[in-house]
Amino acid sequence: MINATLKELSAALAAKSVSSVELAGQYLDRIAALNPALNAFITVDAGKTLAEAAAADAARAAGQAGLLTGVPLAVKDIFCQQGWKTSCGSKMLDNFIAPYDAHVIERVRAAGLVTIGRTNMDEFAMGSANENSYYGAVKNPWDLAAIPGGSSGGSAAAVAARLAPAALGTDTGGSIRQPASHCGITGIKPTYGVVSRYGMVAFASSLDQGGPMAQTAEDCALLLNTMAGFDGRDSTSLERPTEDYTRELNNSLAGLKVGLPKEYFAAGLSADVARVVDAAVAELKKLGAEVVEVSLPNTELSIPAYYVIAPAEASSNLSRYDGVRYGHRAAQYKDLADMYEKSRAEGFGSEVKRRILVGTYVLSHGYYDAYYLKAQKVRRLIADDFKRAFEQCDVILGPVAPTAAFNIGEKSNDPVEMYLSDIYTLSVNLAGLPGMSVPAGFAANGRPIGLQIIGNYFSEAKMLNVAHQFQQVTDWHRQAPAL
Partner 1 sequence: MKWEVVIGLEVHTQLNTVSKIFSGSSTAFGAAPNTQASAVELALPGVLPVMNKAAVDKAIRLGLALGSTINKKNVFARKNYFYPDLPKGYQISQMDLPIVEHGSLTIQVGDAEKVVNLTRAHLEEDAGKSIHEGLEGLSGVTGIDLNRAGTPLLEIVSEPEMRSAEEAVAYAKALHTLVTWLGICDGNMQEGSFRVDANVSVRPLGQAEFGTRCEIKNLNSFRFLEAAINYEVHRQIELIEDGGRVVQETRLYDPDKGETRSMRSKEDAHDYRYFPDPDLLPIVIAQAQIDAVREQMPELPGQMKARFVDSFGVSAYDASLLTSSLALAQYFEAVATATGQGKLAANWINGELAASLNRDGLDIAQSPVSAERLAGLVTRVADNTLSNKLAKQVFEAMWGSELSADAIIERDGLKQVSDVGAIEKMVEEAIAANPKAVEEFRAGKEKALNALAGQVMKASKGKANPAQVQEILKQKLGAA
Q: Minimum Å distance from CB 298 to partner 1?
A: 21
Q: Which is nearer to partner 1, 265 or 326 (CB)?
A: 326
For residue 356, state whether it binds partner 1 (rule: CB under 8 A).
no
Q: Give the contact letters, 204-243, x = binds to partner 1 (CB under 8 A), - = no.
A: xxx-------------------------xxxxx-------
Q: Which is nearer to partner 1, 352 or 393 (CB)?
A: 352
For residue 377, state whether it binds partner 1 (rule: CB under 8 A).
no
Angle formed by the axes of helices 374-389 and 302-317, nearest 10°: 130
The residue from 2, 288, 368, 473 that contacts partner 1 (CB under 8 A) is 368
Cα distance between residue 183 and residue 347, in whole Å: 29
Cα distance between residue 92 and residue 131, in whole Å: 17
CA 142 → CA 33, 38, 279, 440, distances in Å? 16, 10, 21, 15
Angle formed by the axes of helices 20-38 and 6-14, nearest 10°: 150
The residue from 197, 328, 411, 468 that contacts partner 1 (CB under 8 A) is 197
Q: Which is nearer to partner 1, 102 or 395 (CB)?
A: 102
Active-site choice (10, 20, 76, 343): 76
DSSP 139: P
**H/E run at residue 354:** helix 350-362
DSSP 294: E
CA 59 → CA 19, 70, 110, 274, 380, distances in Å? 12, 9, 11, 48, 48
Contact region with partner 1 (CB under 8 A), list: 93-101, 174-182, 259-267, 448-456: 93-101
Cα distance between residue 368 and residue 212, in whole Å: 35
**Contacts of 444 by beta carbon, 8 Å cutoff, 6+ apart:** 272
The residue from 27, 264, 348, 372 that contacts partner 1 (CB under 8 A) is 372
Active-site choice (90, 151, 152, 237): 151
For residue 334, state whether it binds partner 1 (rule: CB under 8 A).
no
For residue 42, state whether it binds partner 1 (rule: CB under 8 A).
no
For residue 198, state whether it binds partner 1 (rule: CB under 8 A).
yes
For residue 270, state whether it binds partner 1 (rule: CB under 8 A).
no
Contact region with partner 1 (CB under 8 A), list: 141-149, 218-226, 270-278, 365-373: 365-373
Contact region with partner 1 (CB under 8 A), list: 9-17, 115-123, 203-211, 263-271: 203-211
Q: Which is nearer to partner 1, 301 or 309 (CB)?
A: 309
User: Closest by alpha carbon to 225, among 234, 233, 214, 471?
Assistant: 214
For residue 282, state whether it binds partner 1 (rule: CB under 8 A).
no
CA neighbours closer than 13 Å in the CB half-sphere of residue 286? 11
CA neighbours closer than 13 Å in the CB half-sphere of residue 211? 40
Q: Minimum Å distance from CB 63 to partner 1?
A: 34
Is 175 catalytic? The answer is yes
Burial readout 270-284 (b: 16 or more C-beta within 10 A, e: otherwise): bebbeebbeebbebb
For residue 199, state whether it binds partner 1 (rule: CB under 8 A).
yes
Q: Minimum Å distance from CB 235 to partner 1?
A: 5
* Contact set for partner 1, span 292-321 (CB under 8 A): 312-313, 315-316, 318-320
Q: Are 74 and 168 in contact (CB under 8 A)?
A: yes
Could you list the residues that contact partner 1 (CB under 8 A)? 79-80, 86, 88, 93, 96, 98-100, 102, 197-202, 204-206, 232-236, 312-313, 315-316, 318-320, 322, 324-326, 336, 340, 360, 363-365, 368, 372
Catalytic residue numbers read: 76, 151, 175
